[in-house]
Structure 1
Amino acid sequence: MIRAIAIDDEPKAIQVIQHHVSKSSKILLLAVFSNAQEGLIFLKENPIDLLFLDINMPHLSGLELLAELHVKPYVIFTTAYSEFAVDSYIYDAVDYLLKPFEYNRFEMAIKKVEDRMANAKEQNAYFFIKDGFKTIKIAFEDILFIKSSGNYLDIVTQIKTHNTRMTFSEFINKQLPFGFARVHQSYLVHSSKIEKIEHNQIFIDTHKIPISTKYRELFYKNLGT
């Protein structure tokens, strides 16, 4: 499943994307935004795979929004202006959909995203962190959950807990594979490691992790419940 959001200041355009997504079993549309600034805040706090993005928006254009992100999700531009096509290549956009676009063209763009994600999965199974004087290789699959403490993270794996100087935003921007979900201001969990959820608490191994009100709705949407 491809985790996606859409940012477009035109309600009609948002409705078209929602309609096309409803016909696809491949996409989970987590949120939509008509305000680019609000969309940017969401992107800096939540891991996603795909961004449907308009370019010509007031106050903050789609290209300006992307410039604010250190590491970008896959992007499909959705715009009424063909002259922006050249600019889209600068940001390595997966596709460029010229409004209005039909479902068949939308489906072609999603297939391109799937192909890119499959290639990236083979190359992006792990990352490196500084832990004291050591550099540690960590596989995403080994992570149970991550706890934030200011500018430091506790990365809890099946074997041990690693403490490193890194913010949540920096970690989320590592192009996380599907399965990680923000459940609290201080916690990011690997959904496949969850054993049960009870009374707004997540149980992973011997750990109990709170689900906050702010992230509850999005978390359950991620789970498909």
Structure 2
Amino acid sequence: MIRAVAIDDEPKAIKVIEHHLLKIKNIDLIAHFNNAENALIFLKQNPIDLIFLDINMPNKSGLEMLKELKLKPHVIFTTAYAEFALESYNHDAIDYLLKPFEFERFLIAIQKVKRRINSQNNLNTYFFLKDGFKNFKIEYDSILFIKGSGNYLDVVTKEKIYSSRMTFLEIIEKLPSTQFIRIHQSYIINIKNTSKIENNQVSIESYKIPISGNYKDLFLNCINN
């Protein structure tokens, strides 16, 4: 499931995106915002695959917002201004939709997103994690969950636990967002290895991991779509 966010100061523009997405499988619009400031707060704490982003917004433009975002999802610009097209591709935008756009043109942009995500997912099945003075190769599928522990993160795998001095934002950059999701201020889980969800907690092998109220709706929305 591709997790998406729409950012536009025009409510009608958000409605158009929502309407088009109802006709497309495997994309979930989990949130929308009418300004870049609130969107930034959300995006810095939640792994997202795709942003539908307006450019010309009050206070902070879409392009200015992207410059502040360290972890950049895939971007489809949605704007009424053609003159921003060249600059938008400096941000590696997947597509640039001029308002008003019909469903057929919108679908072409979505197909580009799916091709790029599929291509990236097929490239790597692992990443390297520093634990002490050594770097270990960690297969994504071997990870059960990740827990914050002071200034360190404990990466709990099927074989052992690795401890690395890094932040959640740094580890999120290394993980495929379609497989890993944050369910608590202190936990990221591997959806593939989740066996049960019950009583505000997730079961992964013998572990019971809490789901916090701040992340519950987002988590349940993702797994139910």
TM-score bin (small chain): over 0.9
2:174 match: secondary structure: coil
Conserved? CA contact 1:150–1:167, under 8 Å: no
1:188 and 1:152 mapped to 2: Cα distance? 14
Which residue number in structure 1 is paired with residue 147 of structure 2?
Answer: 147
Root-mean-square deviation (Å): 1.2
**Aligned partner of 1:140: which letter?**
Y
Count of aligned pairs: 225
Q: What's the offset of the Cα at 1:71?
A: 2.9
Q: Deviations over 1:4-59 (max 9, x none)?
A: 11111111111111111111113111111112111111111111111111111112
1:84-95 alignment, distance < 5 Å:
84-95=84-95
Q: Which moved more, 1:115-124 or 1:82-91?
A: 115-124
**Structure 1 unmatched runs, 5+:** none
TM (norm. structure 2) is 0.96
Which residue number in structure 1 is paired with residue 27 of structure 2?
Answer: 27
1:110-149 alignment, distance < 5 Å:
110-149=110-149
Q: What's the offset of the Cα at 1:175?
A: 5.4
Conserved? CA contact 1:54–1:62, under 8 Å: yes
Q: Deviations over 1:137-157 (max 9, x none)?
A: 112221111111243111111
Which residue number in structure 1 is paired with residue 169 of structure 2?
Answer: 169
Q: Deviations over 1:73-96 (max 9, x none)?
A: 110000110000001110110000
**Aligned partner of 1:14: which letter?**
I
2:155 match: secondary structure: strand
1:40-119 alignment, distance < 5 Å:
40-119=40-119
Q: Which moved more, 1:96-105 or 1:141-150?
A: 141-150
Which residue number in structure 2 is paired with residue 11 of structure 1?
Answer: 11
Conserved? CA contact 1:202–1:210, under 8 Å: yes
Q: Deviations over 1:123-166 (max 9, x none)?
A: 23221111011011112221111111243111111111111011
**Structure 2 unmatched runs, 5+:** none
**Aligned partner of 1:196: which letter?**
K
Conserved? CA contact 2:140–2:175, under 8 Å: no
Q: What's the offset of the Cα at 1:192?
A: 1.6
Q: Which runs of 4+ in 1 moved over 4 A?
A: none
Shift in CA distance, 180/107, structure 1 to aligned 2, threshold 3 Å: same
Which residue number in structure 2 is paired with residue 192 of structure 1?
Answer: 192
TM (norm. structure 1) is 0.96
1:103 and 1:124 mapped to 2: Cα distance? 33
Confirm or deny that 1:219 pairs with 2:210. no
**Aligned partner of 1:77: which letter?**
F
**Aligned partner of 1:86: which letter?**
L
